[in-house]
Amino acid sequence: MSDAIVDRAMFHTDNAYYLPAAKITGHRWFQNTVSHTAFRGFGGPQGMMLAEQMLDDVARAVGRDPLSVRLANLYSPQRGMTTPYHQQVEGFAMQRIIGELVDSSQYWQRREAISAFNKSAQRMVRGLALTPVKFGISFTAQFLNQAGALVHVYTDGSVQVNHGGTEMGQGLHTKIGQIAAAELGVELDAIVVTASRTDKVPNTSPTAASSGTDLNGQATRAACETIRQRLQEFVAETYNCTPSQVQLKAGQVIWPSGQQSFAELVQAAYLARISLSSTGYYSTPKIYYDRDKGAGHPFYYYTCGAAVTEVEVDRLTGMYKVSRTDILHDAGASINPAIDIGQIEGAYVQGMGWLTTEELVWGDDGRLQSNSGATYKIPAVGDTPAEFNVALLENSSNHEATIYHSKAVGEPPFMYAISVWSALRDAIYQAGNRQCNPQLDTPATPERVLWAMQQAKGETS
């Protein structure tokens, strides 16, 4: 798994920035600890961290606000739209996203207020950061970008869908059900989505790479389209009209001279020996990558967004809290905004844990010592931002032909939590009288924050 993770880390070292002179090299190292496995982001967060630290450090070195340096280095038609691995960045709405987020979060007004607070406060210090995310969507292993589905329509009008994706609480089955309902023109209550089974849909790809809905949604749509076309042709032949004149919507089937319920149509089609079952298949187009040349088109498209985070840090203890977070995410034409917003909120908090509290401590014998809830701290409800504003970019649509032109929402929001780490570094920089770039290792526990603050103030070597 190391090869794929390092590849994705390298693919995301540019994040949202045009870096024409970049040379990116990845190394795989043997370690004396146990093997690890995949985690949300799969190398992408590690690559993005490099980009964001670099931009922060450059901004402080030249005496500018980090946001202005980020804006100056974004991919743009004027600067360039080609990644270090020679893929063209298309459908890139980052300028619009940041512009709207700066306004809605009142970034510049809060920057001034925070500066005034830090000059007068004796014990507490505040930090603010805006960080963007550009995350490539697709498995970098080309063969994994495929999916199948099996759809049955029963004579009572109910529909069963089985697909290759695994539901793990992310709302995949709900979205698949919505797709099937939309394609067959029935209510969502008529759809039953069953758990993935290889005796129904074989050779399934992992539910990973933020592609669960993209792949399985398209496969489900293909199966439903086949059944719908059969039903439309049956009605057209029976009632002397064309298939294009037959509409399936809201549980009804309508043609120029009449209408009936979907269940009645299905019963009639069954009696006429029309097949009411179909498989569907989908494979993502345009994907290829030559590792030897370091060039290609490994991603079908990019999901973008940005986050603004404000933190408040205790100068004496290093303890801190996340006061406010504002996120704007481009989900394209979202299939289910409520699910997408929930995924964004959860991913952000999970990312906070990764960057601030979840510390892996290994003994000299290679055993994991932080192996329980007492020694490995995951975020709790109390760790979430006191003010948490999440929105989807309005009037957006994926330029690629994804399912209903939606965009992925699984992994990209995890990296919005980089704004927490950047905001902590900003607070440390302010506490150190803006003298040097803070060196803050992750996870940024209060102890590490305190050490970084002492170092920034010249109190430690």
Give the chain's count of helices (H) and strands (E). Answer: 11, 13
Using CA atoms, how far apart are residues 131 and 48, in angstroms rounded to an integer?
10
Give 387's DSSP letter: E
Domain 2-140+291-456 is found in CATH 3.40.50.300: no
Give the pLDDT confidence score for residue 65 in this predicted structure. Answer: 97
Mean pLDDT in consecutive groups of 10 residues from the start of the chain, 461 residues: 91 97 92 84 96 97 96 97 97 98 98 97 97 97 97 98 97 98 98 97 96 98 99 97 97 97 98 98 96 94 99 97 99 98 98 96 90 93 96 98 97 98 97 85 96 85 52
Q: Which two tokens stand for residue 166?
A: 């695994």
Same CATH topology for 2-140+291-456 and 146-283: the answer is: yes
Q: Give the model's pLDDT for residue 365.
A: 85
Please list the alpha-helical segments (H only) found in 185-309.
Answer: 212-239, 262-271
Assess contact for 71 and 34: CB atoms under 8 A. no
Model pLDDT, residue 461: 52
In 315-379 the beta strands, taken as DSSP E runs, fall at 320-329
In 3D space, the residue among 44, 46, 36, 47 whose CA is nearest the CA of residue 1 turns out to be: 36
Could you confirm whether domain 146-283 is CATH 3.40.630.30? no
Domain boundaries, the chain: 2-140+291-456, 146-283
Burial class (CB in 10 A: 0-12, 13-18, 19+), 363: exposed
Q: State residue 189's pLDDT score.
A: 97
**Predicted pLDDT at 31:** 81
Given a contact cutoff of 8 angstroms between Cβ atoms, the answer to whether 300 and 146 are in contact is no
Task: Specify whether the CB–CB gap between 184 and 159 falls below 8 A.
Answer: yes
The predicted structure's pLDDT at residue 120: 94
* Structure letter (DSSP) for residue 403: G
Closest CA to 458 of 436, 426, 427: 436
Rg of the Cα atoms in the chain:
25
- What residues are annotated to the active site? 411
Cα–chain center distance at 196: 23
pLDDT at 460: 63
Instruction: Specify the pLDDT at position 457.
Output: 84
What token pair was written down for 142? 């080309």
Name residue 187's amino acid: E
Structure-token match 């293909």, residue found = 222
Q: What is the pLDDT of residue 298?
A: 97
Task: Give the Cβ contact number of residue 14 at 10 Å.
Answer: 22
A 10 A CB-CB count for 291 gives 12
Nearest-angstrom CA–CA distance, 344 and 342: 5
- Please give the single-letter amino acid code of residue 110: R
DSSP characters for 319-337? -EEEEEEEEEE--BS-S-H
